[in-house]
Amino acid sequence: METKSENACFGGVQGVYTHTATSTSCDMTFGLFLPPQAKDGDVPVLWYLSGLTCTHENAMTKAGAQAWAAEAGIALVFPDTSPRGEGVADDDAYDLGQGAGFYVNATQAPWDPHFRMWDYITDELPQLLFGEFPLDPDRQGITGHSMGGHGALTMAMRLKGRFRSVSAFSPICNPTQSDWGQKQLTAYLGEDSGQWAAHDASLLMAETGFDGPMLIDTGTKDQFLDLLKPEALASAIATKRQQAVFRMQPGYDHSYFFVSTFMADHVAFHAEELLG
């Protein structure tokens, strides 16, 4: 692991690090904010998964999460959204390829050698983080925005017992029925739609739900509402009688102005579970 930068931030440290990942067969970069409380021992962890076209930098610099995390004493992890570099497959479209990993393990050429973001986020990166930094693996929450909201919800529901809490900003809720999903799942996983269900939050909600609290915010003026399909997840939550707060925020769009507006709510939501 190589330290790219470390900056003092709200009494803690905002770092950026790179390492050679075996799961993605390339170098990967991630951001990690350690709150001041990490000087005294292991702290809880909140994972933040970013959306289409983003890197580790977007939420790290735009979401305003560090101030609230420092106050609560929670670390923040900002992974990248896909493998990158020379020899890594890409596409001219912004919603496929580099920057658009969709947090799945690709099985189809040309994506399968590198696009194994599920294994990277759920296995390899946690092993690195908990081995190198003062983080508590028994106190984890996960959140994300858009494509990252999709990843956060699917990981929370599939990895039983891993996360105490899950939240999402404008998540892609029903990718098997959306152009933000059908295109990418076909490319990465193949034509058999039966392989897609494990990466659809609405289907997972109907099948298993989440053993803990859930918070979801989406703006009523989100320009991608028809692609996000929040109504599918809301219906599944109601049918499952899932413990959840599902909010449609009037006037807000898909941008980081929206994310930063409600970030304090989300950090406080996770803090209640991780520190309670």
Return the bridge partners of 248, or none: 218
Res. 188: pLDDT tops 90: yes
Over residues 139-173, the pLDDT tens digits come to: 999 999 999 999 999 999 999 999 999 999 999 99
Q: Could you give the C-alpha distances from 205 to 143, 170, 177, 218, 223, in angstroms and in order?
A: 16, 16, 15, 18, 25
Q: Which residue among 170, 178, 222, 266 is the active-site one?
A: 222
Mean pLDDT of 225-247: 98
Backbone angles phi, psi at 256, to 5 degrees: -75, -10
Q: Which two tokens stand for residue 32?
A: 């990690």
CA distance 35 to 74: 6
Res. 181: pLDDT tops 90: yes
Q: Which residue among 56, 150, 199, 254 is the active-site one?
A: 254
pLDDT at position 121, please? 98
Q: Do 233 and 216 form a contact (C-beta atoms < 8 A)? A: yes
pLDDT at position 222, please? 98
CA distance 25 to 84: 10
92 noted as active-site residue? no
User: How does DSSP assign the chain, residue by residue?
Assistant: -EEEEEEEETTEEEEEEEEEETTTTEEEEEEEEE-GGGGGS-EEEEEEE--TT--THHHHHHS-HHHHHHHHT-EEEEE-SS--STT----SSTTSBTTB-TT-B--STTTTTT-BHHHIIIIIHHHHHHHHS-EEEEEEEEEEBTHHHHHHHHHHHHSTTT-SEEEEES----GGGSHHHHHHHHHHH-S-GGGTGGG-HHHHHHHT--SS-EEEEEETT-TTHHHH-HHHHHHHHHHHT-SEEEEEETT--SSHHHHHHHHHHHHHHHHHHHH-
pTM above 0.95, yes or no: yes
Q: Which residues of 16-38 are buried (b: 16+ CB within 10 A; e: fewer)?
A: bbeeebebbebebbbbbbbbbbb
178 noted as active-site residue? no
pLDDT at position 136, please? 98
pLDDT at position 276, please? 84
Mean pLDDT of 174-202: 97
Over residues 18-30, the pLDDT tens digits come to: 999 999 999 999 9
Mean pLDDT of 172-192: 97
5 noted as active-site residue? no
Q: Do 38 and 9 form a contact (C-beta atoms < 8 A)? A: no
CA distance 43 to 71: 12
pLDDT at position 27, please? 98
pLDDT at position 249, please? 98
Mean per-residue pLDDT over the chain, rounded:
98
CA distance 223 to 243: 28
What is the biggest distance separating any 2 CA atoms in the chain, rounded to whole angstroms? Answer: 51
pLDDT at position 16, please? 98
Over residues 52-99, the pLDDT tens digits come to: 999 999 999 999 999 999 999 999 999 999 999 999 999 999 999 999
Q: Which residue among 82, 146, 170, 202 is the active-site one?
A: 146
